[in-house]
Amino acid sequence: MADKLHFSLVSPAKEVFSGEVDHVIAPGSEGEFGVLVNHAPFMTTLKNGIVRVLENGATKMRIFVRGGFADVTSEGLTILAEEARLLEDVTAASVQEEIDATLLKIQSLDKDDSARITLQEHFDYLESLKAALVH
């Protein structure tokens, strides 16, 4: 349909979402932005936060992303996220469990281990995910 926006959200692990929607609101590094159909070509980096997919004015889906890029072209919106999870799939308890496991892993590594930085990023992501769930 011509009046729908093609939106796809992919993470390295899988294609999280792909389909036609009305409106997407994403957390850009310079502030939140909304994308409707026929948006001008636009590219930005993202910060940790919630990508909201709106259909008929109501929120249809909320996806929590960590870092990445949004690319708006004439074909639609593509979000490349480092990590992405559907908010409805996670619970505060399961996130807390992961936070604890990650923290243990971080502590077991040397200070200058490059894997530590990666884990730290993952940890920050989980922390902000937890914060988002509480709301």
Residues forming contacts to other proteins in the complex (CB under 8 A) are 8, 10-15, 28-30, 40-45, 69, 71, 73-74, 78, 80, 82, 113-115, 117-119
The CB-of-29 to other proteins minimum distance in angstroms stands at 6
The CB-of-20 to other proteins minimum distance in angstroms stands at 17
Would you say 41 or 57 has its CB closer to other proteins?
A: 41
Would you say 97 or 113 has its CB closer to other proteins?
A: 113
Return the closest-CA partner of residue 38 out of 2, 71, 9, 70: 2
Q: Transcribe 13-25 into DSSP letters.
A: S-EEEEEEESEEE
What does the alpha-carbon distance between residue 128 and residue 66 come to, in Å, rounded to a whole number? Answer: 9
CA-angle at 9, arms to 62 and 50, nearest 5°:
30
What does the alpha-carbon distance between residue 131 and residue 127 come to, in Å, rounded to a whole number? Answer: 6
Would you say 56 or 114 has its CB closer to other proteins?
A: 114
The CB-of-44 to other proteins minimum distance in angstroms stands at 4
The CB-of-1 to other proteins minimum distance in angstroms stands at 22
What does the alpha-carbon distance between residue 20 and residue 2 come to, in Å, rounded to a whole number? Answer: 10
Would you say 10 or 25 has its CB closer to other proteins?
A: 10
Question: Which amino acid makes up residue 133?
Answer: L
